Structure formats: structure tokens, C-alpha cells
A = this chain, B = another copy of it.
């Protein structure tokens, strides 16, 4: 298992067919191309002024994130992405 540090999350990118089901479509012509994914692990939050700030997203959330953010890793067969919570734009509620 991959446990992200500070305000980072690990997410599983969601492919095009899955996106159609959720009703969110991310156009190719978008100025800043976003992507959709599912959170699989969250960090403990970063520390500011001696207090830890918990993340707003939780495991299982479907999110829209900035396409050029993060670092790809592969665990077994799964391609995952490690990125900061600030690169997540919104939660998709279904």
C-alpha cells in the first residue's frame, strides 16, 4: 500500500467510459485540461502553526483534478497518481 505524506492523496484515474456514467464530461478543448479520479489514500494533512489541517477529501471520493499535476506510480497492475490536495478542484457527487 502507498501512504501519502502531508497534504498529498493517492488517486486512481477514471477512464472515459466511467466518466460517461457519472455525467461529467471534461472537454478536450478545455483551457486547463482536468481529469476525473477516485481517491484511494489520503495523507494526514500538513502542519501549519503547530496544528495539523485535515484534508477535505476522503477515500472513495470521486474528484476532478488538474491534468498536469502529480506523479504516476504503478502498484501491481494499478496505475495510480500521487498529488497534493490543492490540485483537486472539486468533488463529484453522484
Residues of A at the B interface (CB closer than 8 Å) are 1-6, 8, 10, 23-27, 30-32, 34, 41, 44, 47-51, 53, 56-57, 64, 66, 68, 70-76, 79, 82, 85-86, 88-93
User: Is the contact region of chain A dominated by helix, strand, or loop, or is it mixed?
Assistant: strand
CB distance from A3 to the nearest CB of B (A): 5
- Chain B residue, CB-CB nearest to A36: B73
Q: What chain B residues lie within 8 Å of A76 (beta carbons)? A: 23
A75 to B53, CA, bound (A): 31
CB distance from A45 to the nearest CB of B (A): 10
Interface contact A74-B25, CB-CB below 8 Å:
yes
Q: What chain B residues lie within 8 Å of A88 (beta carbons)? A: 5
Q: What chain B residues lie within 8 Å of A47 (beta carbons)? A: 48, 53
